[in-house]
Structure 1
Amino acid sequence: MDWDWAVGGITDDIPRTTGAECINYMTDRRRWTESALLCALFVYIMHSSWKQLAPIRLPSPHEIQKSHSPMRLFLLISMSIVFGIEMGFKLAGRSMIFTLNPCHVQTCLQIYLLAAKPTRTTTALFRIQMSNLNGPFLAFIFPEVEGRTYPFEQAAYWIQHALLYIIPIYILRSGAYTVEDLGDFKWSKIGTAFMLFYHFALLSPLSILTGINLDHMLCAAMSDPFQGQNYRLFACCHQAMLCPLLSKGTALIFGSRKSRSNENGIHNNVALSSENYAPISDAIYHQLQQQQQQQLQQQQLQQHQDYVSAESLAGEYRMPTTKID
């Protein structure tokens, strides 16, 4: 199969994008060993944290069924257009392999979250992606725009990464999806571990096989302060601290009252319990929602019928008026 459309336009004109220096930065044996050991660690962290999760509480059926606001539609359309433009640049530059970088994956996820209704699954995805705000944050601190030579290509970079941080803030303010309590770090552990697992389970092997530095898994960036053989281990440590800090800090500063789940409170909506390993599926939840709506409609219809009956009864006892000549 010809992969020229995916990797044919990538050259070593930009330092540490590909080439002998990057490929020989460290041995493949060490790369594979680190990837295997760290992936096992991340899987363990995700599994142990998942077993201890508190229930996911969803908004009321009325909140779930209401239509999207104009601002939400604007963000959805804007991010979709920017992502389409980015894909056009990648196709034109024959560098589609870079679409596997985490910020592009997070872009697709945020488009889905803006378009979808709140469910147990989408709420879990939103909480996981809240731990991946390090991508747009680092993109502004250490921008990499040297290889963007097409018109508007650098502008698309800044707009995309700005939206990657603006959209979670909007969702937090709107209360469409809830986040865990500020003192609960289980979702932060899952999100951070999954992000690192994605790097070492997918990006690292692809970087080794193609010789292309996907999200700096083949060699350290020129701006990386932790240059050397251990730069990937240092990255795991400082990102494990940065991701929860950004997630909790954003929720603390921008989160609305209704976006915080208050998982110790008493609510009348359906919850997912991770203690008994018998979660309620989204289909059953929507079925219960429909039953609640049908009951509400029946109550409203009964009230209307009672009102009509009362009016009819009052009309029967109303004294007729008689005209006297």
Structure 2
Amino acid sequence: MGWDWAVGGISDEIPRTTGPECINYMTDRRRWLETILLSALFIFIMHRSWQRLAPIKLPPPHEIQKPHSPTRLFLLIALSMIFGIEMGFKLSGQSMIFALNPCHVQSCLQIYLLAAKPTKTTTALFRIQMSNLNGPFLAFLFPEVEGRTYPFEQATYWIQHALLYIIPIYIIRSGAYTVEDLSEFHWSHIGTAFMLFYHFILLSPLSIFTGINLDHMLCAAMSDPFQGSNYRIFACCHQALLCPLLSKGTVVLFGRRNRSSSGLTGSGSMPEPRGEAAQYHQLTQGDYAMQEEAILRHRFSNQEAVDDGHPHDAGEMASLTAEYTMPTTKID
């Protein structure tokens, strides 16, 4: 058959991979209803959060143009090799459809991020994938290696998922890409909603059409504590909590730290104290106006003391205003 390379090697020997038990776990009507309603909800969350995003700040140009470090190149080569071996196992076992599982997609994304230079697009992709750390975390917590029978196939499972967590830590510490401030959750909401949207808009229909349990969208895993027809709704709830927790927790635990009285910045590092000149130039137009008014009042009070109450005309006011007009250039 034309699709044997993708699904021909998948059988029901491993519980809840495919077969009648998994297909009849819940009705297709319920699956499609959840897919439509929850996908609409995730689109709304992504759109709402996108409108509230702060501008992405890139590293200085000399940092962007720096060549990749040996550590970064090693991680790039290691993940590329492991991912290539994993795809070889999928092709050999005629189960290539499992390449659509989120951890394999995240592997491709991290390979690209390691190879690319920082831009606003790559920074956005990095921030989105930071909300997908639940994949490697759950892979270690609830491993599924029963169907891996080729030599070294189970080892690739552990190495790949370990790299999926190690690489974001390295990127955060190296400063190649930045993350949002700890107090903001807009990118976390986008990343989490997109991850769940991917499950329902792609994996759920494919699971229904093929009868194959792609990332447990057809039936619950044996280790899932929330068994029953509502397991996908429960999964959305606990993953909506777990994803931001892992993302922010990783930044707190592994982000670069410098001495400062403020919290972690969007780069995962502590902000450096600003000099007086930098603070001055970051005043807003309203702040400048208030300072001008205060200076003028002080000048007039001194003049009145000297002039013994003589009023000032409009010309003198204009000259004083011109004399004490402050620069309005604002540096972001």
How does the TM-score come out when normalised to structure 2? 0.78
The residue identity in structure 2 corresponding to 1:197 is F
| Pairs within 5 Å for 1:203-218 | 203-218=203-218
Corresponding position: 1:58 with 2:66: no
Note if contact 1:6-1:97 (Cα within 8 Å) is conserved in structure 2.
yes
Cα displacement (A) at 1:255: 1.2
Corresponding position: 1:231 with 2:239: no
The residue identity in structure 1 corresponding to 2:83 is F
Task: Show the counterpart of 2:127.
Answer: 127
The residue identity in structure 2 corresponding to 1:37 is L
Instruction: Give the distance between the partners of 1:167 and 1:14, measured in 2 at CA.
Output: 31
Cα displacement (A) at 1:261: 8.1
Corresponding position: 1:138 with 2:146: no
| Pairs within 5 Å for 1:1-325 | 2-257=2-257, 259-260=267-268
The residue identity in structure 1 corresponding to 2:211 is G
Instruction: Give the distance between the partners of 1:71 and 1:157, measured in 2 at CA.
Output: 22
Output one character per residue of 1:135-168: Cα deviation in whole Å (capped at 9) or x when no partner.
0000000000000000000000000000000000
SS in 1 for 2:47: helix
Distance 1:169 1:261, change over 3 A: closer
Cα displacement (A) at 1:44: 0.1
Task: Show the counterpart of 2:330.
Answer: none
Query: Where does the alignment leave 5 or more consecutive residues of structure 2 unmatched?
Result: 258-264, 279-332
Note if contact 1:18-1:212 (Cα within 8 Å) is conserved in structure 2.
yes
Instruction: Give the distance between the partners of 2:255 and 2:88, measured in 1 at CA.
Output: 35
Note if contact 1:181-1:262 (Cα within 8 Å) is conserved in structure 2.
no
Give the aligned length.
266
The residue identity in structure 1 corresponding to 2:256 is S
Task: Show the counterpart of 1:319.
Answer: none
Report runs of 4+ in structure 1 exceeding 4 Å deviation.
none
Output one character per residue of 1:290-316: Cα deviation in whole Å (capped at 9) or x when no partner.
xxxxxxxxxxxxxxxxxxxxxxxxxxx
Note if contact 1:11-1:19 (Cα within 8 Å) is conserved in structure 2.
yes
SS in 1 for 2:148: coil
Cα displacement (A) at 1:262: 8.5
Cα displacement (A) at 1:256: 1.8
Instruction: Give the distance between the partners of 1:261 and 1:128, measured in 2 at CA.
Output: 19
Distance 1:194 1:262, change over 3 A: farther
Note if contact 2:173-2:268 (Cα within 8 Å) is conserved in structure 1.
no
Note if contact 2:256-2:270 (Cα within 8 Å) is conserved in structure 1.
no
Output one character per residue of 1:257-313: Cα deviation in whole Å (capped at 9) or x when no partner.
5723899x999xxxxxxxxxxxxxxxxxxxxxxxxxxxxxxxxxxxxxxxxxxxxxx
Instruction: Give the distance between the partners of 2:218 and 2:37, measured in 1 at CA.
Output: 17
Instruction: Give the distance between the partners of 1:75 and 1:39, measured in 2 at CA.
Output: 34
SS in 2 for 1:53: coil
Note if contact 1:178-1:261 (Cα within 8 Å) is conserved in structure 2.
no
Cα displacement (A) at 1:25: 0.2
Instruction: Give the distance between the partners of 1:45 and 1:71, measured in 2 at CA.
Output: 37
Coordinate RMSD, CA, aligned: 1.6
Cα displacement (A) at 1:243: 0.1
Instruction: Give the distance between the partners of 2:29 and 2:270, measured in 1 at CA.
Output: 47
Instruction: Give the distance between the partners of 1:48 and 1:117, measured in 2 at CA.
Output: 28
Note if contact 1:131-1:191 (Cα within 8 Å) is conserved in structure 2.
yes
Note if contact 2:255-2:269 (Cα within 8 Å) is conserved in structure 1.
no
The residue identity in structure 1 corresponding to 2:98 is F
The residue identity in structure 2 corresponding to 1:14 is I
The residue identity in structure 2 corresponding to 1:244 is P
Distance 1:56 1:261, change over 3 A: farther
Q: Quick check: which has more Rg, 1 or 2?
A: 2
SS in 2 for 1:2: coil
Instruction: Give the distance between the partners of 1:236 and 1:114, measured in 2 at CA.
Output: 30
Instruction: Give the distance between the partners of 2:268 and 2:232, measured in 1 at CA.
Output: 34
Instruction: Give the distance between the partners of 1:229 and 1:159, measured in 2 at CA.
Output: 33
Greater relative CO, 1 or 2 (CA 8 Å, sep 6+): 1
**% identity of equivalent residues:** 82
SS in 1 for 2:147: coil
Instruction: Give the distance between the partners of 1:137 and 1:12, measured in 2 at CA.
Output: 26
Note if contact 2:256-2:269 (Cα within 8 Å) is conserved in structure 1.
no
Note if contact 1:132-1:195 (Cα within 8 Å) is conserved in structure 2.
yes
Note if contact 2:49-2:187 (Cα within 8 Å) is conserved in structure 1.
yes
Note if contact 1:45-1:190 (Cα within 8 Å) is conserved in structure 2.
yes
Distance 1:32 1:181, change over 3 A: same
